[in-house]
A and B are shown apart, each in its own frame.
Chain A
Amino acid sequence: MIPAAFEYYRPKDMAGVLSVLEEHGDDARVVAGGHSLIPMMKLRMAEVPHLIDLQDVAGLTGISIDAGRVRIGAMTTQHEIINHAGLSDVAPIMREASLQIADPQVRYMGTVGGNVANGDPGNDMPGLMQCLDATFILVGPDGERSVAARDFYEAAYMTDRADDEVLTAVEFAASKGGYAYEKQKRKIGDYATAAAAVLITKDGGTCASASIAMTNLSDTPVYSVDAGAALVGTSLDEASMKAAVDAMLGDIDPTEDNRGPIEFKRHAASVILRRAIENAWDRA
């Protein structure tokens, strides 16, 4: 319950953030909503001698939609995502997923940037971002760079972000067609036993495109190219559905924990993916 002492910084701009990160390296961390980091600090699982609060840093909040391109500032909260009418029009999967993350209090504080940068495979947004083919914007001492969400995750808590970089925004194209975020969990606020993000477009009765990513079924989110490909060009008959599920099962690598043994998780993943595909297809 009691976190270790730290030096606290509340800079007003990114230059202020970067200078602390540069000075203290590994010993400094940014805090956004604080709803993953503070619990870890309370359990003394995260040691953060220098804590940089991003709440006053200009330019990190807000959702903008411009010519079919969505940009969400890293400090935008789940609560804001859920209640943003424009975002629900162009990427309704965001609201659907956010409503399945945590609980009301946590959603007032937890941010999209923290969710995607955390690196915990239990987080829902990373798989969702891979499904959307989102781009993450990172700022470091050498300036800004972009990295695809599909290339960002390396292992549990290991991402492409360097210690002296800050994730400042996520960007993605407005989604077309049908969508679904289906999540199997033990209770409100739990990380997924298995979850699937699916986007599907239709051309007549045929699947024109499909994007599929899975949550908490490996030490990273899993974007399954083959699962999506198995649906394209089909009318989503049983054979193509089974092919997609089999392809997904070939890509995941769940581990046993309190949520169940590996075989159960593979079963749950199959059921959840089928539901998500059917749901997205119906909405396409």
Chain B
Amino acid sequence: MSNKKHFKLTVNGEEQEFLAEPRELLIHTLRERLRQTGPHIGCETSHCGACTVTMNGKSVKACTVFVAQADGADITTIEGLGNPDSLHVLQEAFKEHHGLQCGFCTPGMITRASKLLEENPTPTEEEVRFGMAGNICRCTGYQNIVKSILAAASEMNAAKEAAE
């Protein structure tokens, strides 16, 4: 049975149009159809957050959204935050503070952290840990992820101050 429908997404600033079954999970659309393979799949129970993207200004787990629900949405993945030639402050901070090892959770971590810092630019350590609680990491023990995010927050705030 195929009941493909026409969908439209804006992903990392580019409009994408395609036919897909409504049941296709957004994470599969992003990875397999649109080749944004930064967001990962770490579970099938919506716990791990490796698939986290920003959709219409919210951090969402792309494994728990049907493409049909996302029709018309504006989505940012890790690929849209920065690239090897021009790293996002968070990407730079994760590198600097050793906030990753295998790198599998990192795209979701950084995408989530970007939203967290947008909503709370000066988080405490506790607020970072709580605000990142939807993202699981098997390598780092979280300590350096927290450090990376706090460092990125300071950097972003300093840059903001300098610009004012």
Residue ranges of A at the interface with B (Cβ–Cβ < 8 Å)? 1, 3-8, 10, 31, 34-35, 38-39, 41-43, 51, 53, 55, 79, 102-106, 108-109, 188-189
Contact = CB atoms under 8 A, between A and B. Distances in A.
A267 to B, nearest CB: 26
Given A8-B5, A109-B60, A189-B133, A104 B112 contact: yes
Residue with the highest number of chain A CB atoms closer than 10 Å, among B45, B60, B65, B71:
B60
Nearest to A33: B64
Contacts of A53: 68-69
Given A1-B25, A8-B68, 14 more contacts: A10-B68, A38-B46, A39-B45, A42-B44, A43-B45, A55-B69, A104-B59, A104-B112, A105-B134, A106-B64, A106-B134, A109-B58, A109-B60, A188-B133
Contact of B3 (A5, A34, A55): A5
Contacts of B131: 104
Contact of B116 (A31, A55, A104, A109): A104
Interface of B: 1-3, 5, 21-23, 25, 41, 44-47, 49, 52, 58-61, 63-66, 68-69, 71, 112, 116, 131-134
A51 B25 CA distance: 14
B22 A8 contact: yes
Given A42-B44, A43-B44, A104-B131, A5 B64 contact: no
Contacts of A108: 58-60
Contacts of B47: 189
Contact of B61 (A7, A8, A41, A105): A105
Contacts of B58: 79, 105, 108-109
A3 B45 CA distance: 12
B56 to A, nearest CB: 9
The 6 closest A-B pairs by CB, nearest first: A103-B134, A8-B22, A108-B58, A188-B133, A1-B44, A105-B134
B35 to A, nearest CB: 20
Nearest to A83: B119
Contacts of A4: 23
Nearest to A53: B69
A276 B3 CA distance: 51
Given A1-B44, A42-B44, A106-B46, A34 B134 contact: no
Contact of A51 (B22, B60, B63): B22
A53 B69 CA distance: 7
Q: Name, among A79, A102, A105, A106, the residue most crowded by chain B CB atoms within 10 Å (CB to CB).
A: A105
Nearest to B116: A104
Contacts of A105: 49, 52, 58-61, 112, 134
B134 A38 contact: no
B103 to A, nearest CB: 20
Q: Max chain B CB contacts within 10 Å: which of A4, A102, A106?
A: A106
Contacts of A8: 5, 22, 66, 68
A5 B23 contact: yes
B116 A6 contact: no
A176 B22 CA distance: 46
A10 B1 CA distance: 20
